[in-house]
Amino acid sequence: MSYPNLLEELQHETRRIAREEPEGYRKLRTGQLDNRPGCEGVYYGALDIAHGMLRDFAMYTVYPTLALHREQNNVAMSRAVANQMFPTVLNYLGYSGFPELKRLGHRFLETSGDCDLEQFDHILVAFLRYVNTLYAWAYHWFPWNVGDAMRYPGGDGHKEPLAAEIIDTLEPTDTLIRLRWEPLGIEVRAFLCVDRNPELCRDLLDALPFTCLQSHPMVSGESIFAWTPLTSTAATPFKEEIRTAPVGRLRFSQRTGQKLTVQYGVTSEDIMAPVLGSVLQSDRHLLRAVGSAVWTSTYETKEAIWLTVERC
């Protein structure tokens, strides 16, 4: 397949699944795959392994390949890395409900042999966006509530000792965006820290407007995130520890899926994350209702909530 044809097909397939669950994954999670991956008639293991492998492929294989390609500017090395790391994962995931990923991934590997530096970048960006969109659906539909039997003693009581002193050194700017959640009918305004992470903010602004599936994390506490259509490798000099961030903080994670995160309450993770901005003080009281609805959507009902981000 030629470079232009592959680029067009990757972009088309990403648009197609942006608002519609991929059919192969639907069959995997509902036990309808013809090849019946699993053992002793149980397909939960196949679902769990495929979900984790797709996550790691997007975050820890495809994205680092793109970052390395842009850092080294060596297309031969980039091809070699992709050819070593992609095939085994593509083949397993193709067996586990992602046949289009397998097909498009192998076409990427075949086509990349005839690509120059810029063309390789373009098709790898398109492939990463496709993989991230697939994983957004896999995350949304995963049966997280199987964890009901694994709760901390005292319910939510574990939050208090992990809470940290809130530190906020971010000054508001005049660069504003709007975040709107449907069908909740809730919207807030936020400023971007264009003075602290200018390249990252520019990448976000260049991508606006966009709409994406909203999800709730299962580890870090009271925040919500969405896989965006960005593919940013921008420098992010301004980072902060998540657990010391205030309500309303906007973060952006390039390395874990190009995710836009909005914090609506207490968080516990002690990692450092790039800061994008903050919801305006006057709108922060609206975030609790959004966070609660997204938790219910992700953990239980699976009723889609859509985030639209646009300039004010």
**pLDDT surpassing 70 at residue 159:** no
| Over residues 200-220, mean pLDDT | 96
Q: Is the residue at 250 inside a domain?
A: yes
Are 103 and 94 contacting, i.e. CB atoms less than 8 angstroms apart?
yes
**pLDDT surpassing 50 at residue 161:** no
One-letter amino acid identity for 290? V
pLDDT digits (tens, 9 = 90+) for 241-286: 998 999 999 999 998 999 999 999 998 888 999 999 999 999 999 9
Q: Is the residue at 148 inside a domain?
A: no
Distance, CA of 304 to CA of 109 (rounded, Å): 34
Query: pTM to 2 decimals?
Result: 0.94
Are 7 and 130 contacting, i.e. CB atoms less than 8 angstroms apart?
no
Q: Which pLDDT value is given to residue 168?
A: 86
- Helices H, strands E: what count in the chain? 10, 9
| Percent of the residues in the chain that have a pLDDT greater than 90, as a whole number | 89
pLDDT digits (tens, 9 = 90+) for 56-90: 999 999 999 999 999 999 999 999 999 999 999 99
**119-133, 156-170, 263-277: the lowest-pLDDT one:** 156-170
Q: How many CB atoms lie within 10 A of CB 86?
A: 20
The pairing of beta strand 210-215 with beta strand 306-311? antiparallel
Are 267 and 256 contacting, i.e. CB atoms less than 8 angstroms apart?
no
Q: Which pLDDT value is given to residue 163?
A: 55
Q: Which pLDDT value is given to residue 155?
A: 61
Q: Which pLDDT value is given to residue 128?
A: 98
Q: Are residues 100 and 171 in the same domain?
A: no
From 143, 174, 204, give the residue that closes a domain: 143
**pLDDT surpassing 80 at residue 287:** yes
| Over residues 197-224, mean pLDDT | 96
pLDDT digits (tens, 9 = 90+) for 90-99: 999 999 999 9
Q: Are residues 164 and 70 in the same domain?
A: no
Number of compact structural domains in the chain: 2
- Mean of all residue pLDDT scores within the chain: 94
Q: What CATH number has the domain bearing residue 188?
A: 2.40.100.20
Residue located via tokens 């599936």: 213
Residue span of the structural domain in which 184 resides: 160-311
The pairing of beta strand 186-192 with beta strand 221-227? unpaired
Q: Is the residue at 153 inside a domain?
A: no
Distance, CA of 63 to CA of 257 (rounded, Å): 8
Those residues whose C-beta lies under 8 Å from the C-beta of residue 86, and which sit 6 or more positions away, are 61, 62, 105, 108, 109
